[in-house]
Structure 1
Amino acid sequence: MDELIIKYLNKAASEEDKTTLLAWLKADETNREYFLKTQKLWNLSNIHFMPEDEITKALDKVNMNISVIENRRQKNRLLLFRIAAAVIVICMLSVGSFYMGVNFNKYANPEPVTMNQVIMGNGNRGFVTLPDGTVAWLNSGSKLIYPEKFEGKSRSVRLDGEGYFEVKKDEKKPFFVETENMIVNVLGTIFDIQNYTRKPVAETVLMSGKVEVTLKENNKKFILQPDQKISYNKETGQYKLTQVDAEEYAIWTNDKLILDSEKLSTVLRKMEHWYGVTIQTAPNLPLDHRLTLTIRYEPKEEILKMLSLILPIQYTINGDLIEIR
């Protein structure tokens, strides 16, 4: 069973493996506690994305170093658009503040707290309601860590990926979202954060209210107004504050994208936000050509193929980058 757990945490488990693991977890409370111990050490050891040939080494490390960890039943309300099985919700106990490198320690809780972790599977989107009533939407491949109960003088969560937050206003308890490169401080507002580990640029877009964004590398602070975006290049350290149409950055939270007689330039821009990709266009494309279409859960490859059949364009896909010529 140890090997199966490691395969699951390493995202190498088959559907049969997952079914076996789920049955084992349901069979006994001790099994669930053991799984959470393993999960905690796995997170702390930063061995999430190991190749298959290193699973045995990871297993040895887990078996030698598992420490005692308490577990409380998670209380979570989660809505998925399509595949509920792709979402994992677990709880773990963390001593003191669970944030690494966070620089708002004056708000950190000194007492041990039970943490919830929500992971959104690839190709899925959904939301979770936090203990204070804040709603956090998670895009494909995103992870959110938050306490079972917000105690102390702040409300703090950690995000890896993209999240859209509708924060419950509480002037006495500021709300913090920490990512790898940014810390966003709000009182009550709506905003979108994108900070995937695999992408070179992190960004925060404000829909309404006001937020303070702190860049971790240089501790620079920015106050965003509605329809403003702060972008930070992780490779160069450069940052840029721009005016945008903030609503476009939240279209991925809808169950469908409706395009009614939109220019190709607009279609491609909205597809960027819908699929979480970057689209580069070559000169002389028919960007003024108007299109009407509705996108629901079709993969980007299917939509691009359709566009290439009705317009004189070709495309190549390289991970999160799409080039159209």
Structure 2
Amino acid sequence: MEHPVDKILIKKFINNNCTPEEIARIRLFLEEPGADQVFEEILNEQWETGNPDTPADEAQMQYWQNKFQQKVAEIRPPSQRKFKLLKYAAVWTGLLIVGGLGWYLSRKGDKPAPMAMLTSSTGTGKLLKVQLPDSTIVYLNASSSLQYPETFTGDRRTVALRGEAFFDVKPDERHPFFVATDKLHVQVLGTSFNIRSYQDDADIAVTVATGKVGVTVPGSANTAATILLPDHELTYARYSGKVEVSTVNAADTKAWEQGAFIFNYETLENITKRLSRWYGVTFVCNNDKLLQKRFKLKLRNENLKNVMAALSSAGDGFQYQFKDKQVIIK
């Protein structure tokens, strides 16, 4: 079915170039039951620009999100504004992470003031403590990165995470704190929680230590947030989109912060990925059945030989050997 709007009309709408007739078309479009899904599809298209490989930064994307929401509020009846704006905000937050909308940012005279973006990152076997501009403390695990503005502005505090981090968020009811990963968005006011979101892991995990956390999946048909309380963990399967919530010991989840490994019936496949990020080695195992076996083990981040000796003797055990920068599991 042909829709009354397209991306050209949306661009005109945000830039105050629409005729009254075009405004009426957009108003009609926003009243359609499936408008949020169609709008998301339009925004996720490749927006043509002179340099399509250069994504917009977070501050610029936040500026356009706010501008769009203001425009929608102007033409929507007050009783209907809040619900719809929450839906479209999720779409824009997703675009904030993957980039896009560079077309807008090239227009003269309509750019926001540039905001300095900072990135903190860790390499193999390294941990890092980061203090954000609002005094929130973030502990980055190995092979992770965190992007955040030099100064938080606007009505929300937003950061982007790749990898794993433990957050101790400074309470501020007027400015909720958002963490965006490539698949999930986490919102809090003041709490502590762990996020594990490595792109080579099959699952993403959000674990709450204190307070309350809301987790949403952008683009999902079910836009309601899943609310997590202390010692609750949400896992999201990257490939199937399945969401599960379970009860865990949050202290175990953040044990890496204290220099320890705690494997609570984790598969050998997941364990080797964690060890690879810490020790900078590659694990090779052609036995798929063995990779899916689960192990329960707690140990300090000692040298790799001691770790492998303990791991290989747990459960039914397995054989292994070191070869250059590889650990070959048999």
1:231 to 227, 232, 235: 235
* Cα offset, 1:245, TM superposition: 1.1
Could you say which residue in structure 1 is the equivalent of 2:155?
A: 153
Could you say which residue in structure 2 is the equivalent of 1:121?
A: 123
Could you say which residue in structure 1 is the equivalent of 2:259?
A: 255
Could you say which residue in structure 1 is the equivalent of 2:300?
A: 295
* Cα offset, 1:305, TM superposition: 2.3
Structure 1: distance between partners of 2:198 and 2:63: 19
Paired residues, number: 218
Could you say which residue in structure 1 is the equivalent of 2:90?
A: 103
Structure 2: distance between partners of 1:99 and 1:240: 33
Classify 1:296/1:113 alpha carbon distance in 2 versus 1 (closer, same or farther; 3 Å). same
- Aligned AA for 2:293? T
* Cα offset, 1:202, TM superposition: 1.0
Classify 1:237/1:169 alpha carbon distance in 2 versus 1 (closer, same or farther; 3 Å). same
| Local SS of the residue matching 1:141 | coil
Q: Tell me if structure 2 keeps the 8 A contact 1:181–1:215.
A: yes
Structure 2: distance between partners of 1:184 and 1:142: 17
Q: Tell me if structure 1 keeps the 8 A contact 2:59–2:149.
A: no
Query: 1:35-73, CA deviations, whole angstroms, 9 ceiling, x for partnerless residues?
Result: xxxxxxxxxxxxxxxxxxxxxxxxxxxxx97xxxxxxxx
- Aligned AA for 2:274? G
Q: Tell me if structure 2 keeps the 8 A contact 1:280–1:323.
A: no
| Local SS of the residue matching 2:239 | coil
Q: Tell me if structure 2 keeps the 8 A contact 1:252–1:273.
A: no
Structure 2: distance between partners of 1:120 and 1:97: 26
Give the number of the structure with larger relative contact order, counting CA–CA contacts within 8 Å between residues 6 or more apart: 2
Q: Tell me if structure 2 keeps the 8 A contact 1:96–1:113.
A: no
Could you say which residue in structure 1 is the equivalent of 2:185?
A: 183
Q: How does 1:9-24 map to 2 (within 5 A)?
A: none
Classify 1:214/1:99 alpha carbon distance in 2 versus 1 (closer, same or farther; 3 Å). farther
Could you say which residue in structure 2 is the equivalent of 1:6?
A: none
Classify 1:130/1:212 alpha carbon distance in 2 versus 1 (closer, same or farther; 3 Å). same
Structure 2 residue ranges without an equivalent (≥5): 1-49, 52-56, 66-87, 97-110, 277-290, 322-326
Question: Identity of counterpart residues, as a percentage?
Answer: 29
Structure 1: distance between partners of 2:167 and 2:206: 11
Query: 1:76-112, CA deviations, whole angstroms, 9 ceiling, x for partnerless residues?
Result: xxxxxxxxxxxxxxxx895343999962759x99643
Q: TM-score, normalised by structure 2?
A: 0.55
2:293 to 281, 286, 289: 281
Could you say which residue in structure 2 is the equivalent of 1:112?
A: 114
Structure 2: distance between partners of 1:169 and 1:195: 24
Structure 1 residue ranges without an equivalent (≥5): 1-63, 66-91, 260-264
Structure 1: distance between partners of 2:191 and 2:64: 22
Classify 1:195/1:307 alpha carbon distance in 2 versus 1 (closer, same or farther; 3 Å). closer
- Aligned AA for 1:203? A
Q: Tell me if structure 2 keeps the 8 A contact 1:124–1:140.
A: yes
Classify 1:104/1:127 alpha carbon distance in 2 versus 1 (closer, same or farther; 3 Å). farther
As a proportion of its length, which structure holds more strand?
A: 1
Q: Tell me if structure 2 keeps the 8 A contact 1:96–1:111.
A: no
Structure 1: distance between partners of 2:129 and 2:112: 28
Query: 1:100-129, CA deviations, whole angstroms, 9 ceiling, x for partnerless residues?
Result: 9962759x9964311001121122111110
Query: 1:108-162, CA deviations, whole angstroms, 9 ceiling, x for partnerless residues?
Result: 9964311001121122111110010001111111110000001111110000111
Could you say which residue in structure 2 is the equivalent of 1:53?
A: none
